[in-house]
Structure 1
Amino acid sequence: MAHSEYPPMAPSYQSAESNIKLGWGSRPALMLIDVCRAYWSEESPLNLLGNPEAAASPNSMRRLLSAARASNTPVLWAQVRYNKGTMLDGGMQYKKSSGCSIWQEGDTRGMDAWLPGLEAAAEDTVVFKKNPSAFFATTLSSELQLLNVDTLVLCGVSTSGCVRATAVDAVCHGFRPIVVGSASGDRSPAIQNATLRDLDANYADVVSEEEAISKMLADWS
């Protein structure tokens, strides 16, 4: 989404200070966040199919994943998993959002299943988390350092929740977060737009699918 397409915002969001770009570093990786059936199923409490752009976002994710595979860009996935029978490890997040129980180990609804064409390969890194940020209480920062990654291309769901939390923590850990707007989804178009605008102003670069693919296909050697 281009700046000209954002809904009206306060003048401070349109200032030069709110349009500074982090830019791309020397080694990108693609991270897909919480991409599973839970968000694209009418039976799920987290269903976002009511937002057409969010419903279509897996198509953009597939193109990003294809470009990453073609360019040998490292691919990482963040997935939620709870393994305590009483959802004890869901903590306050579960108290606030009981829908998280779909990720309880052994749940029979199958909402944690991969989407067709969006499955982890053997060489990918899968990070399991219990909270919105893929960095919080996980090995993600260490995994990125081992891969010599300095730029993290983010997509997935939901934009206002786990994508945002991961982007904020990425910049706090010294990485360059790049959020692909068309490949990130939320239940509300208004919340999607507001979140992308705020991320772009304060924490990350929000870019088009075309830019992300072009950069991943570049020669980084």
Structure 2
Amino acid sequence: MNIEKSSGFAQNSGMGLNPVILVVDFMKGFTDRDSPLGSNLDNEIKATNELLNIARKECVPIIFTSVSYDPGFQEGAHFIRKIPALKILSAGSEACEIDPRLERNEQTELLVVKKFASAFFGTAISSVLSHQRIDTVIIVGCSTSGCIRATVVDALQHGYLVVVPEECVGDRSQSAHDASLSDIQMKYGDVVSLETVKKYLTHLKGDISNV
């Protein structure tokens, strides 16, 4: 991603020494093209698998998020009214399951259920990351303009360095995807290549300020 570094914007924050991979909403309801909430995320799933394979080898923690609602959907409040298709995400439904292509290890890779866009809103993620002394949140998943961007902003506001490998995030709208990545790089986190993050996880040298 080429973004001109104007004065005061789009500087790189770098990466720390204790990262986590946060896989946001790569669940069947979003990755199945036949779903009313779905889109083609095959390439993003493949790229994310590359990252997760290295993370598992290097013992970097991985956290997944999903969205689900109890019957009545009261937890969704006005979000459900704005996006009625969210009603397919009924607790226990197949749509709420993590895409099996990601091969989540249920014993070691935490699943956090959320109700709104940000993975931090109304969940215990911040406490989990604090307990594990995490300093860097690498965010992958979907959708770039919705849950990814919201999670990026909240991660920054909770005091974490934020990294988004651009091949590992996707959206139903290419224009919204591109605009959101630009906005993230300008103000909230570092949008970098998958290869950059893979090298970082392998060596954990931390500083990507010149990338």
Establish whether TM, by shorter chain, passes 0.5. yes
Structure 2 match to 1:41 = 32
Cα distance change of structure 1 residues 86 and 194 upon mapping to structure 2, 3 Å threshold: same
Mapped partners of 1:142, 1:158: distance in 2: 24
For residue 170 of structure 1, the aligned residue among 152, 155, 170 is: 155
Asked if residue 19 in structure 1 is aligned to residue 10 in structure 2, the reply is yes
Structure 2 match to 1:3 = 2
Mapped partners of 1:14, 1:24: distance in 2: 19
Mapped partners of 2:5, 2:196: distance in 1: 22
SS of the residue aligned with 2:100? coil
Mapped partners of 1:128, 1:111: distance in 2: 13
Asked if residue 71 in structure 1 is aligned to residue 61 in structure 2, the reply is no
Mapped partners of 1:117, 1:45: distance in 2: 20
Q: Structure 2: which amino acid aligns with 1:82? A: Y
- Alpha-carbon RMSD across the aligned residues, in angstroms, is 1.5
Mapped partners of 2:109, 2:76: distance in 1: 26
Report the alpha carbon displacement of residue 171 of structure 1 after superposing the two structures with TM. Answer: 0.3
SS of the residue aligned with 2:96? coil
Residues 83-115 of structure 1: CA deviation (Å, up to 9, x unaligned): 2x11111111111111111211144xx222332
- Contact 1:55 1:185 (C-alpha < 8 Å) held by counterparts: no
Asked if residue 138 in structure 1 is aligned to residue 123 in structure 2, the reply is yes
SS of the residue aligned with 2:166? strand
- Contact 2:118 2:148 (C-alpha < 8 Å) held by counterparts: yes
For residue 72 of structure 2, the aligned residue among 68, 76, 86 is: 86
Mapped partners of 1:20, 1:219: distance in 2: 20
Structure 2 match to 1:161 = 146
Report the alpha carbon displacement of residue 14 of structure 1 after superposing the two structures with TM. Answer: 4.5
**TM-score scaled by length of structure 2:** 0.91
Residues 171-215 of structure 1: CA deviation (Å, up to 9, x unaligned): 000011101111000011111111000000000101110011111
Structure 2 match to 1:123 = 108
Q: Structure 2: which amino acid aligns with 1:208? A: S
Mapped partners of 1:119, 1:112: distance in 2: 15
Q: Structure 1: which amino acid aligns with 2:177? A: Q
Structure 1 match to 2:49 = 62
Unmatched tracts of structure 1, length 5 or more: 5-12
Report the alpha carbon displacement of residue 40 of structure 1 after superposing the two structures with TM. Answer: 2.5
Q: Structure 1: which amino acid aligns with 2:170? A: G
Structure 2 match to 1:7 = none
Unmatched tracts of structure 2, length 5 or more: 206-211
Report the alpha carbon displacement of residue 217 of structure 1 after superposing the two structures with TM. Answer: 1.4
- In percent, how many aligned pairs have the same letter? 31
Mapped partners of 2:194, 2:98: distance in 1: 21
Residues 54-73 of structure 1: CA deviation (Å, up to 9, x unaligned): 44110011001101101000
Asked if residue 104 in structure 1 is aligned to residue 90 in structure 2, the reply is yes
Report the alpha carbon displacement of residue 38 of structure 1 after superposing the two structures with TM. Answer: 1.5
Cα distance change of structure 1 residues 170 and 219 upon mapping to structure 2, 3 Å threshold: closer
